[in-house]
């Protein structure tokens, strides 16, 4: 599966067919059928948005013009006969494709898509090559072998083997470059994620202990600790300075859908299944279990004073809790479907909730009554749901995220001020920087966007995750953004001043 460069078209490959779909209307635009296409295709759009490159299980490369459904070229003779497994990647400029042999020869082949020539044959791995990725400038190719457990860096101009990265003790599942090309991330079956300096090959950071996909993430108030909740029920904490894993909490095997620290940093709050768990960060034990929801909790929020906790659930209700006693104080009813986003205004007076019923509701925290209902339907009347909500630090701006869309709302009038449509799928998480000048958004399209919430300018895009971005959070100083994903990784991004 692949998106076109403008995100308006998606190509899906199956046995014998590549189907082309319009991502806005959901309608199929065209299809191509050929015996060059099988059930294990690598598919990518070239930069022109009109041509697709497909590499099948047998290593046959084909280029297709999707506008007319015509085969432009097929490349079969690239000096090998073994199947290609998972190691295939397209260069950033779309001019070359690299494929890795699925046999014990461990070879990698770089092919010029214009001339069909074999440009380079790289040898060094002792077994199958399963993961490949080009650096953002295309000058370096990084390869990983499922079996030999090594990562190798290659010069794409000369074919020179630049260095070998070792350290993983299990099979290597994935590779990613940071947007600036300075850092390589690798994930392994040994339960670690490692960050490497691309210029020296030195390991920079090691995240240890992942057993499943990341669902939620949070910074401690002092910015020294990152907590991430996973789909296997584990919560893991890392020291930001040393990047070392320091603690693990688990009391359930349900998804950790929501996670946050109390304002004093002493307690970690997690929504797991139908319950809320309060963990003592210092003793590693949970202090209290709060129960009451009939279905899973999707989101939680804490007021600035730290004495009121709000939880939104798939049971269509929001519950307010006294954080001192753990008692349930109010149940807010009004949404017709699951609540996915919950946030409290900086002054603590207003609770905002976003639901799959396509509405955003503003509630009076003291009375529990609805103050305002915002309708997030798009201009064409298509229901896109509300998956995330966030207040700016000054309380003047409310942002909501749905299918492909982020809406900036005027709290006083209830009218939308701006709409951002750069994402290609659901916007699962939103976070304002501490100074309120940047809004970060994470999506199932795997990208993170940074926006100016006042002008609508797209300031930056971070690409590195290979799965949905399920959680994002700014450090207290605003210099770092941390993200979690269902690809099992936690990534740290440096924010330009």
Residue 453, pLDDT score: 94
Across all residues in the chain, what is the average pLDDT? 82
> In DSSP terms, which residues pair with 211 in a beta bridge?
none
Based on the fold, state whether residues 79 and 58 are members of the same structural domain.
yes
Residue given tokens 């199947």 in the structure block = 83
DSSP string, 138-155: SSEEEEE-TTT--EEEEE
CB 13 within 8 A of CB 43: yes
CB 217 within 8 A of CB 232: no
**End residue of a domain, out of 208, 239, 262:** 208
> In DSSP terms, which residues pair with 43 in a beta bridge?
54
Residue 6, pLDDT score: 81
**End residue of a domain, out of 151, 179, 208:** 208
Residue given tokens 């939680």 in the structure block = 300
Based on the fold, state whether residues 331 and 371 are members of the same structural domain.
yes
Q: How are beta strands 118-122 and 108-112 bridged, if at all?
A: antiparallel
Of residues 337 and 15, more confidence is placed in 337
> In DSSP terms, which residues pair with 363 in a beta bridge?
351, 370
CB atoms near residue 314 (< 10 Å): 18
DSSP string, 86-113: EEEEE-TTSSEEEEEESSTT--EEEEET
Based on the fold, state whether residues 176 and 115 are members of the same structural domain.
yes
- Angle, vertex CA 335, rays to CA 334 and CA 340, nearest 5: 140
Based on the fold, state whether residues 280 and 325 are members of the same structural domain.
yes
Which structure tokens are listed for 75? 């490349």
Tell whether the model's pLDDT for residue 80 goes beyond 60.
no
Which structure tokens are listed for 341? 């986003």
Highest mean pLDDT among 159-168, 263-272, 433-442 belongs to: 433-442
Q: How are beta strands 480-485 and 51-55 bridged, if at all?
A: unpaired
Q: How far apart are CA 132 and CA 85, in angstroms?
A: 11
Maximum Cα interatomic distance, the chain, rounded to a whole number of Å: 74
Q: How far apart are CA 195 and CA 176, in angstroms?
A: 9
Nearest to 214 by CA among 466, 478, 496, 480: 466
Burial of 118 per CB tally in 10 Å (0-12, 13-18, 19+): middle
Residue 400, pLDDT score: 93
Which structure tokens are listed for 364? 């009076």
Based on the fold, state whether residues 194 and 342 are members of the same structural domain.
no
Q: Confidence class of residue 379 from pLDDT cuts 50, 70 and 90?
A: very low
**End residue of a domain, out of 173, 208, 243:** 208
Q: How far apart are CA 428 and CA 402, in angstroms?
A: 7
Residue 474, pLDDT score: 92
Residue 132, pLDDT score: 87
Based on the fold, state whether residues 236 and 130 are members of the same structural domain.
no
CB atoms near residue 84 (< 10 Å): 26
Residue given tokens 């020869």 in the structure block = 105
What is the pLDDT averaged over residues 448-470? 90
Based on the fold, state whether residues 127 and 221 are members of the same structural domain.
no
What is the pLDDT averaged over residues 225-248? 77
pLDDT digits (tens, 9 = 90+) for 312-323: 888 999 999 888
Based on the fold, state whether residues 303 and 423 are members of the same structural domain.
yes
Residue 382, pLDDT score: 53
Q: What is the CB-side half-sphere exposure of residue 412 using CA atoms within 13 A? A: 1
Query: If residue 469 lies in a helix (H) or strand (E), which one and from where to where?
Result: strand 469-474
Looking at the structure of the chain, the number of domains it has is 2
Instruction: Kindly report the pTM of this predicted structure.
Output: 0.57
What Å distances lie between residue 410 and 110, 342, 357, 372, CA to CA? 52, 18, 21, 12
> In DSSP terms, which residues pair with 11 in a beta bridge?
2, 20
Range of the domain at 85: 2-208
Based on the fold, state whether residues 267 and 191 are members of the same structural domain.
no
- Angle, vertex CA 191, rays to CA 186 and CA 194, nearest 5: 30
Based on the fold, state whether residues 179 and 289 are members of the same structural domain.
no
Based on the fold, state whether residues 100 and 48 are members of the same structural domain.
yes
pLDDT digits (tens, 9 = 90+) for 393-409: 988 889 999 888 899 99
Q: Confidence class of residue 253 from pLDDT cuts 50, 70 and 90?
A: low
Query: Residue 144 sits in a domain of what CATH number?
Result: 2.130.10.10
Compute the chain's Rg from CA coordinates.
Answer: 24
CB atoms near residue 409 (< 10 Å): 22
Of residues 211 and 29, more confidence is placed in 29
Based on the fold, state whether residues 294 and 179 are members of the same structural domain.
no
Q: How many residues does the chain have?
A: 497
Cβ burial 5-25 (10 Å sphere, 16+ → b, else e): eebebbbebeeeebbbbebee
């Amino acid at each position: 599966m692949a998106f076109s460069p403008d995100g308006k078209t998606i190509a899906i490959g199956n046995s014998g067919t590549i189907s082309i779909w319009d991502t806005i209307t959901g309608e199929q635009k065209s299809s191509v059928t050929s015996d060059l296409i099988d059930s294990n295709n690598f598919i990518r759009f070239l930069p022109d948005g009109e041509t697709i490159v497909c590499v099948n299980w047998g290593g046959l490369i084909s280029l297709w013009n999707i506008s007319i459904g015509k085969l432009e070229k097929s490349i079969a003779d690239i000096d090998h006969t073994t199947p290609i497994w998972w190691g295939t990647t397209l260069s950033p400029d779309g001019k070359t494709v690299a494929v890795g042999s699925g046999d014990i020869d461990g070879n990698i082949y770089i092919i010029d898509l214009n001339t069909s020539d074999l440009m380079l044959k790289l040898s060094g791995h002792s077994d199958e090559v399963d993961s490949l990725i080009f650096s953002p400038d295309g000058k370096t190719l990084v390869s990983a072998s499922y079996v030999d457990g090594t990562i190798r860096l290659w010069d794409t101009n000369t074919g020179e083997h630049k260095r070998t990265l070792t350290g993983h003790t299990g099979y290597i599942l994935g590779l990613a470059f940071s947007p600036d090309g300075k850092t390589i991330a690798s994930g392994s079956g040994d339960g670690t994620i490692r960050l490497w300096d691309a210029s020296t090959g030195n390991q920079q950071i090691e995240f240890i202990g992942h057993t499943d996909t990341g669902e939620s993430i949070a910074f401690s108030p002092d910015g020294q600790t990152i907590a991430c909740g996973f789909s296997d029920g584990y919560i893991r904490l890392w020291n930001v300075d040393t990047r070392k894993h320091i603690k693990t909490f688990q009391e359930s095997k349900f998804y950790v859908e929501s996670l946050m620290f109390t304002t004093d940093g002493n307690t970690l709050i997690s929504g797991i299944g139908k319950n809320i768990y309060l963990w003592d960060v210092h003793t590693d034990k949970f202090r209290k279990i709060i129960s009451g929801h009939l279905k899973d909790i999707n989101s939680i929020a804490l007021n600035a004073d730290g004495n009121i906790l709000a939880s939104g659930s798939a049971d269509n209700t929001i519950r307010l809790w006294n954080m001192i006693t753990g008692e349930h104080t109010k149940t807010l009813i009004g949404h017709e479907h699951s609540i996915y986003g919950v946030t409290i205004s900086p002054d603590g007076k207003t609770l905002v909730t976003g639901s799959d019923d396509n509405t955003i509701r503003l509630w009076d925290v003291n009375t529990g009554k609805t103050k305002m209902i915002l309708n997030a339907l798009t201009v064409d009347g298509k229901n896109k749901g509300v998956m995330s909500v966030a207040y700016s630090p000054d309380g003047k701006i409310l942002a909501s995220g749905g299918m492909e869309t982020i809406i900036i709302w005027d709290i006083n009038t209830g009218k939308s001020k701006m709409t951002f449509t750069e994402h290609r799928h659901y916007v699962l998480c939103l976070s304002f920087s501490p100074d309120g000048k940047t809004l970060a958004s994470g999506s199932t399209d795997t990208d993170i966007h940074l926006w100016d919430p006042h002008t609508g300018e797209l300031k930056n895009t971070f690409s590195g995750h290979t799965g949905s971005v399920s959680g994002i959070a700014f450090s207290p100083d605003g210099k770092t953004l941390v993200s979690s994903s269902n690809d099992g990784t936690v990534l740290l991004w440096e924010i330009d001043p």
